[in-house]
Amino acid sequence: MEHRLLSEHYYKEGHSSLAGYKSLGGYETLHKVLDKTPEEVVCIVKDSGLRGRGGAGFPTGVKWGFLPNNSEPRYLLCNADEGEPCTFKDRLIMEKAPHQLIEGMLISAWGIKSHKSYIYIRGEYQNCIRIMEKAIRSAYDEGYLGKNVCGRDFHHDMDIYVGAGAYICGEETGMISSLEGKKGQPKLKPPFPAVRGYLDKPTIVNNVETLAAVVVILRDGVEAFRSIGTEKSPGTKFFSVSGCVRTPGNYEVPLAYPLMDLIELAGGLREGRKLKAVIPGGSSAPVLTAKECEKARMDFESLAELGSMLGSGSVIVMDDSCSMVDMLSVIEQFYHHESCGQCTPCREGTGWLSKVVDDILKGQGRIHDLSLIQGIAENMMGKTICALSDAAALPAISFVTKFRDEFEQHIRKTLVQKKEEGLSA
């Protein structure tokens, strides 16, 4: 069953309007929070153990703690670029609960003493952009934004920035480059954005779901939040389940929820189909075999133990109708397309991976291409400014090692076919 902590009111009529949100207790937490000191707020978020919901799972409170202790202006940047293939949870939050996001951002802004925030929304999400623009306007009208938030001595301005189609802008420093009006190329870290970010000023970049979760943490308290999930992965998480399931969609469940139960929540597999594999955390996460899925639990630690990752929480389900060669070629084509081109191992490596896998798919593969893929991928990891290169390498390695038989069979089968064609020609 779902555990609707953040999404308790998502499917109620009117919840996306300010009046509707307020009638269901919205913005009450913000009022309460403004009685606390910013330091207390940071402390609560730290104690809650909340981990970033965008992909890396870094503890949010710890990230906030990296801000320098000075009076420099600091920015809050909400990451609503949602580019990780098959992730669509932030779209749900913005469409169903724009004010929950705004409230979460205001609470966070109070905590980190920021007077200006941006929501960076991917350009394709036109519907979200319209909804968020309207929500921000009404929040200004009702005194939740601008001068004297809730009649208190706190000023905060919020604006939207619209991306223009680049996966890499979901990486926080790439996003900052983009917000500065440049191509979205990531920057070398350190310095981290918390020290030197947007326009070289301290900047905190948090994912939409992370910021929405801040509201329930401050509303219910640390203990209540920690009672859900596990010690190291507390709380609930939205999972975008898609692919070969009957009712693809977003499902909010406690962290450490069994993967097989999550697939059942999404309607299970189609009639007569068998589970083949699942990518548990967006296309950059290593793939799990059907056998591994049986024991997989959806939290940061459990998936790391299985050699994969929770990532953005997009669960891509593949049944026995899927060709793993085909699926890997889709993945590698994507990373090749999205590499920003700054670092050689990524720019060249993604191109080679895509080309070699595509050759195999088209029947021009050789058995030793499999070790070639492995070799290219290994040389792409840990050698670049950002993690895109690793994101392309990890699935390649996991696909060809875990499904080596299928890759070999595909290569042999197409070799035989070609020989036969050659003979008959």
Partner 1 sequence: MEKSATLDKKFQLSEEGLAFVKKEMNRYETKRSAILPCLYRVQKENGGWVSPGAVSYLSQVMDIPEAQINEVLLFYTMYNKRPVGKLHIQVCCNLSCAMNGSRELVDHLCNNFHVKEGEKSTDDMVTISRVECLGACDIAPMAQVNETYIGPLKKETVVDQIKGLLKQD
The contact set with partner 1 (CB under 8 A) reads 82-88, 90-91, 122-127, 159, 161-167, 178-184, 198-199, 240, 242-244, 248-250, 279, 283, 314, 316, 318, 321-322, 326-327, 330-331, 334, 337-338, 340
Q: Is 409 left (phi over 0), alpha (psi -120 to 50) or beta?
A: alpha
Smallest separation (angstroms) from partner 1 to the CB of 420: 26
Per the CB < 8 A criterion, the answer to whether 29 and 104 are in contact is no
Nearer to partner 1, 29 or 178 (CB): 178
Nearest of 89, 92, 95, 94 to residue 105 by alpha carbon: 94
Smallest separation (angstroms) from partner 1 to the CB of 282: 10
Nearest of 367, 364, 362, 360 to residue 408 by alpha carbon: 367
Nearer to partner 1, 22 or 116 (CB): 116
Nearer to partner 1, 16 or 312 (CB): 312
Nearer to partner 1, 85 or 365 (CB): 85
User: Side by side, which strands form the sheet with 75-80?
Assistant: 157-162, 116-121, 75-80, 203-207
Cross-strand bridge partners of residue 111: none
Smallest separation (angstroms) from partner 1 to the CB of 77: 12
Distance between CA atoms of residues 170 and 183, nearest Å: 13
**Per-residue DSSP letter, 266:** T
Q: Is 313 left (phi over 0), alpha (psi -120 to 50) or beta?
A: left
Smallest separation (angstroms) from partner 1 to the CB of 292: 18
Residue environment code for 383-417, b if the CB has 16+ CB neighbours within 10 A, otherwise e: ebbbbbbbbbbbbbbbbbebbeeebeebbeebeee
Distance between CA atoms of residues 150 and 158, nearest Å: 15
Query: For strand 157-162 and strand 116-121, is the pairing parallel, antiparallel, or unpaired?
Result: parallel
**Per-residue DSSP letter, 50:** -
Nearer to partner 1, 184 or 193 (CB): 184
Smallest separation (angstroms) from partner 1 to the CB of 29: 28
Nearer to partner 1, 107 or 241 (CB): 241
Smallest separation (angstroms) from partner 1 to the CB of 335: 10
Smallest separation (angstroms) from partner 1 to the CB of 318: 7
Smallest separation (angstroms) from partner 1 to the CB of 209: 13
Nearer to partner 1, 27 or 167 (CB): 167
**What is the residue-wise DSSP string for 351-388?**
HHHHHHHHHHHTT---TTHHHHHHHHHHTTTT-SSSSH
H-run or E-run covering 82: none
Nearer to partner 1, 82 or 209 (CB): 82
Nearer to partner 1, 145 or 228 (CB): 145
Per the CB < 8 A criterion, the answer to whether 84 and 55 are in contact is yes
Smallest separation (angstroms) from partner 1 to the CB of 227: 30
